[in-house]
Amino acid sequence: MQNKITIIGAGAAGLFCAGLLGQKGYDVTVIDNGKKLGRKILMSGGGKCNFTNLNVESTHYISENRHFCKSALKRFTQWDFIQLVNQYNIAYHEKDHGQLFCDNSAQDIVDMLAQECQKGQVKFMLNTQLEDVEAEQQGFKLSTSQGFVHTDKLIVATGGQSMPALGMTAIGYKIAEKFSIPVVPVKAGLVPFTLHKPLLEVLSTLSGIAVPVEVSNERISFKENLLFTHRGLSGPAILQISSYWQAGEAITINLLPDVSFEGDFQLLLENNRNQSIKNCLAQILPKRLIDALMQLNLIADLTVKQLTPTQQQVLYQTLTRWMVTPNGTEGYRTAEVTLGGVSCEALSSKTMEAKNHLNLYFIGEVVDVAGWLGGYNFQWAWSSAFACAQTFD
């Protein structure tokens, strides 16, 4: 039996897989360039770690092969991970859209994974740079800053390129390319938008204001909060749509997602006929946002009673179909996930093993599977790690 397994990356997927394999009796070593375990886990969810979601479907994932994630997600579900969390008595709570967060700290999840690794006597080489990987007759030879490591099986769990300040690099893609495994071009996902200067000069004055919206493009829409920042647009709705955004494309922002024209909006205007449009709308939108829309010449400085029925409809359309063309995104620096990655076509969906190279596996974010905001990327990490570990039974 081949016993020695090396995992590159001490993040969510790498740690979970290491614990599972160690407890099966394998000799497992985890190599990571950082000083401590689970750096991205600790940063996630505002330090509370949105570790999974109560509603996980393959439709919550983006990939060139949209069916690839189904097998792993089915074999290790959100309920399986919740069961493990419960075993460790980690307190958690549900937020909007089925998102589960730790009550105390993301450290609880890292400690749980570390204890699972401890049970399996997993060894760690932290603060260690991986410099090269070569195939040998029996496995692989890794060149690291701590010397050579020989291993029978290699599992790449290096994550993507998002949040480079945490030490994230492109090493996982380089390993794939070295073994002729195709990589789908990568870009930042779940990331705030930047704005062109004229629009930014107006909207940056709204920094810190959040409003419920529905944001859409021609392919998808998301109904959540939008947050104005001093750099552009953020908040859950923007992060979600960013993963489906193409450069140069406009997005449509509905500032009144729960207000119908025939009912609520017309009633609002009728009840405030003698007020200015600005003061009337201030009952349903932040006053500073209305000021900004007036500055952009999207709202006229008139009283409500001066509006004709057609102008009332135009005003409603302005507020529900506000077209904004982002300048770009903030990039990997603030992105929560990397879109693209190791091509699913080159991997087995059952084992995560490379089809063209035995004993080489890719799990987690390094693979071309990116989830929505809301715990889906962590669930992919757990599920893909489990699928890989089951291969070794």
Q: Give the chain's domains with CATH numbers.
A: 4-188+338-390 (3.50.50.60), 199-329 (2.40.30.10)
| pLDDT of 329 | 97
| pLDDT of 1 | 45
- Band of residue 340 on the pLDDT scale cut at 50, 70, 90: very high
Angle between helices 78-87 and 376-390 (to 10 degrees): 90
| pLDDT of 68 | 98
- Percentage of the chain with pLDDT > 70? 99
* Count of residues making up the chain: 393
- With contact defined as beta carbons under 8 Å apart, do 82 and 76 qualify? no
CA distance 229 to 142: 44
| pLDDT of 136 | 94
Q: What are 17-51's pLDDT values in tens digits? A: 999 999 999 999 999 999 999 999 999 999 999 99
Q: What are 175-232's pLDDT values in tens digits? A: 999 999 999 999 999 999 999 999 999 999 999 999 999 999 999 999 999 999 999 9
| pLDDT of 274 | 95
Among 63, 100, 97, residue whose Cα is nearest residue 79: 100
Amino acid present at 314: V
Alpha-helical segments (H) within 103-234: 107-119, 171-178, 197-203
- With contact defined as beta carbons under 8 Å apart, do 213 and 237 qualify? yes
Which range, of 2-6, 60-64, 81-85, 215-219, averages the lowest pLDDT?
2-6
Q: Is the pLDDT of residue 359 over 90?
A: yes
CA distance 368 to 61: 10
What is the Cβ-side half-sphere exposure of residue 92, based on CA atoms within 13 angstroms? Answer: 30
Q: Which residues pair with 4 in a beta bridge?
A: 27
Q: Which residues pair with 156 in a beta bridge?
A: 8, 362
Among 375, 357, 371, residue whose Cα is nearest residue 58: 371
Mean pLDDT, residues 2-12: 92
Average pLDDT, the chain: 96
> 3-state class of 155 per DSSP?
strand
The DSSP H or E segment spanning 73 is helix 68-75
CA distance 5 to 17: 11
Contacts of 201 (CB under 8 A, 6+ apart): none
CA distance 388 to 28: 14
